[in-house]
Amino acid sequence: MVAAKTASTRWLVRIIPLILAGCAGLATYVVVKRVCLDYFLQTQQKNGVAAAFLTLYFVFLLCMLLSYFRVFLEIQHNPGVTPLGERAVVQRERDKERKRQGRKAESDLEAGERYEAGADNNPDSPGLERFYSKNVFVCSADGRPRWCSSCCTWKVDRAHHCSELDRCVKKMDHYCPWVGGVVGETSFKFFMQFTGYTALYCIVVIVATVICLKSKLDSGQGVDGLVIAALAISAFFGLFTFTMTATSIRYAIVNLTNVDYLKSKDMVHQLAIRVPRGTQGTPKYSVITYPLPKRSGPGHEEDPPRDQLATRTFAIVKTEMGENPWDLGPYRNWQSIMGNSPVDWLLPIKPSPCAVYENNESFYEMGPLYEQLRERFGLPELSSSEKGEVIEPKQHRHVNGTDSTRGS
């Protein structure tokens, strides 16, 4: 379990479910007892109306609760964080130890020394192999993967560092205290289902309470304070979750996360795309060869030269502003998150296909832009024998119960 960094956030995560339970409890009492049983059934003797509202109410309540538990548990137990690098593990243990001993915050000097912030310059840096065993990955200007200086590790494609958790989260969407933490690759589907069902549930409560209030007013009876309270609460949450659902559906259809979307307009992706071994750079692109060459010279022992046959060459290319390499088209974008059938879309059971995607080609399925980029930059095709080469990534240390391989 990965808890939030600040104590106030951790408290919020515990208190919010109680607040939500209180609201749902009040709404249940009002809709079932005051509106359906007392008013529709007893006063007006409209059995059909009472039965219809009770059925709708409990169906959406059940869907809302199931999806809430699913998203809450997923976020607590499988938030989709990437493993920490060795240096971050050591440093964080040291920080914890300091706290236990009650020492004040580190001095500026110590804080500044926290980590060597720069990327790991070791050519055999743990985890690199996971990138160059693919045919394409997101890289920085020098062709190495992006580096997270807080987690001391290479950032997999589409991961973003979440400051609340102080961890990199795969396909991070946003931090949401309402569902107990960070919404990302593993929980986005269930989050959408939860907000969608909550919006529908709120609509049922709003319609039932408004009909009841209106006919009571029309017949000159006094208004019921509890019914008004239930209406106000459901209107608030209804508006909130409806907006959230609409926004999330839009992101799902264009295959962007909330984080991506905020910078999508001027976002340029830099990709390392595999080309035949030994391809030379051109004015259009530079190249990088993995495994990275070992340093030689004074201070470094002479290592045996790399086995030429085990190397892989990558061209470093940039997309145009606003292009999205993972855009598969609206329907397949939707399926990559929600699942392949409408049953999957409705039930908060199966994980998103994108969260269990496992492929030697790339971390996430690439859209048509990938082939377009190869053409645009005139990248030579791999020979079929090179295409068939597979690198089995070594297993790395597992940190905090998170596996370094995908889909677990």
C-alpha–C-alpha distance, residues 300 and 359, integer Å = 36
Q: Which long-range contacts (CB under 8 A, 24 or more apart) does 333-341 make?
A: 333/252, 333/253, 333/254, 333/255, 334/252, 334/253, 336/255, 336/365, 337/188, 337/189, 337/192, 337/252, 338/189, 338/192, 338/252, 339/189
First CA to last CA across the chain, in angstroms?
14
Distances (CA, A) of 215 to 39, 57, 69, 222: 10, 20, 37, 11
For the bound state, the minimum distance from the C-beta of residue 352 to Zn ion, rounded and expressed in Å, comes to 22
In the complex with Zn ion, the residue whose CB is nearer, 161 or 171, is 161
Binding-site ranges for Zn ion (CB under 5 A): 148, 150-151, 161, 168
Q: Three-state DSSP class for 248?
A: helix
For the bound state, the minimum distance from the C-beta of residue 168 to Zn ion, rounded and expressed in Å, comes to 3
Question: Is there a contact between 273 and 317 (Cβ–Cβ < 8 Å)?
Answer: yes
Q: How is residue 148 annotated by DSSP?
A: E
- Torsion from C-alpha of 392, 397, 400, 401, nearest 10 degrees: 50
In the complex with Zn ion, the residue whose CB is nearer, 148 or 231, is 148
In the complex with Zn ion, the residue whose CB is nearer, 160 or 189, is 160
For the bound state, the minimum distance from the C-beta of residue 82 to Zn ion, rounded and expressed in Å, comes to 7
In the complex with Zn ion, the residue whose CB is nearer, 152 or 287, is 152
For the bound state, the minimum distance from the C-beta of residue 221 to Zn ion, rounded and expressed in Å, comes to 60
In the complex with Zn ion, the residue whose CB is nearer, 2 or 176, is 2
For the bound state, the minimum distance from the C-beta of residue 176 to Zn ion, rounded and expressed in Å, comes to 19
- Torsion from C-alpha of 15, 18, 23, 28, nearest 10 degrees: 170
In the complex with Zn ion, the residue whose CB is nearer, 138 or 366, is 138
Closest CA to 34 of 209, 221, 203: 209
In the complex with Zn ion, the residue whose CB is nearer, 90 or 223, is 90
C-alpha–C-alpha distance, residues 227 and 229, integer Å = 5
In the complex with Zn ion, the residue whose CB is nearer, 165 or 273, is 165
Question: Is there a contact between 375 and 391 (Cβ–Cβ < 8 Å)?
Answer: no
For the bound state, the minimum distance from the C-beta of residue 59 to Zn ion, rounded and expressed in Å, comes to 41
Question: Is there a contact between 161 and 168 (Cβ–Cβ < 8 Å)?
Answer: yes
What one-letter code names the amino acid at 123?
P
For the bound state, the minimum distance from the C-beta of residue 119 to Zn ion, rounded and expressed in Å, comes to 13
Tell me whether the omega of the peptide bond preceding residue 283 falls within 30 degrees of 0, making it cis: no
| Residue 174, burial from CB neighbour count under 10 angstroms (0-12, 13-18, 19+) | middle
Distances (CA, A) of 66 to 70, 71, 94, 173, 210: 6, 9, 40, 21, 27
Residue 343's CB is within 10 A of a number of other CB atoms, namely 10
C-alpha–C-alpha distance, residues 378 and 285, integer Å = 10
For the bound state, the minimum distance from the C-beta of residue 156 to Zn ion, rounded and expressed in Å, comes to 11
In the complex with Zn ion, the residue whose CB is nearer, 150 or 313, is 150
For the bound state, the minimum distance from the C-beta of residue 32 to Zn ion, rounded and expressed in Å, comes to 47
In the complex with Zn ion, the residue whose CB is nearer, 165 or 271, is 165
For the bound state, the minimum distance from the C-beta of residue 147 to Zn ion, rounded and expressed in Å, comes to 9
